[in-house]
């Protein structure tokens, strides 16, 4: 068995480069009523590898290598914009992204009410 450690390392490095990019961290924009929302996630990657060979005698020799990589993705929140206002809605670590999705209609209603109150106060 012939060791190709550099080739293996290159393939894993290329994989990490292809996954850790802006499009992976900032998702596709979607609209919710008057609001434009962009999901934001955190991507973490880990990598480890090793290899070696040895000879015990003229007739016994061995070689081996191993590598591993892991990836973790965590939702952080949403960038939300309406007209020229932009805000960040954080996804709570204790409740997760599902709870945030459940609260989006309430949040939008509160923002709309707040904007109406401001408009009424200035009129």
Which of 26, 33, 29 lies closest to 106, judged by CA? Answer: 33
The pLDDT tens digits of the residues spanning 50-92 come to 888 888 888 888 888 787 778 787 778 888 898 888 888 887 6
Q: For residue 116, what are the domain limits?
A: 5-122
Q: Is the dihedral of CA 7, 9, 13, 16 positive or negative?
A: positive
Question: What pLDDT was estimated at residue 20?
Answer: 65
Phi/psi at 113 (5° precision): -60, -40
Q: Domain total for the chain? A: 1
Question: What pLDDT was estimated at residue 1?
Answer: 47
Residue with tokens 């450690």: 5
The pLDDT tens digits of the residues spanning 39-48 come to 888 877 787 8
């Amino acid at each position: 068995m012939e060791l190709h450690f550099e080739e293996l390392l290159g393939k894993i490095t290329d994989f990490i480069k292809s996954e850790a990019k802006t499009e992976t961290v900032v998702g596709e924009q979607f609209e919710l009523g008057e609001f434009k929302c962009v999901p934001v996630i955190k991507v973490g990657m880990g990598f480890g590898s090793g290899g070696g060979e040895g000879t015990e005698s003229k007739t016994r020799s061995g070689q081996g290598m191993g590598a591993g990589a892991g990836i973790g993705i965590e939702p952080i929140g949403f960038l939300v914009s309406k007209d020229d206002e932009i805000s960040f809605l954080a996804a709570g670590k204790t409740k997760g992204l599902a709870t945030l999705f459940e609260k989006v209609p309430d949040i939008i209603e509160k923002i709309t009410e707040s904007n109406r109150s401001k408009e009424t106060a200035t009129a």
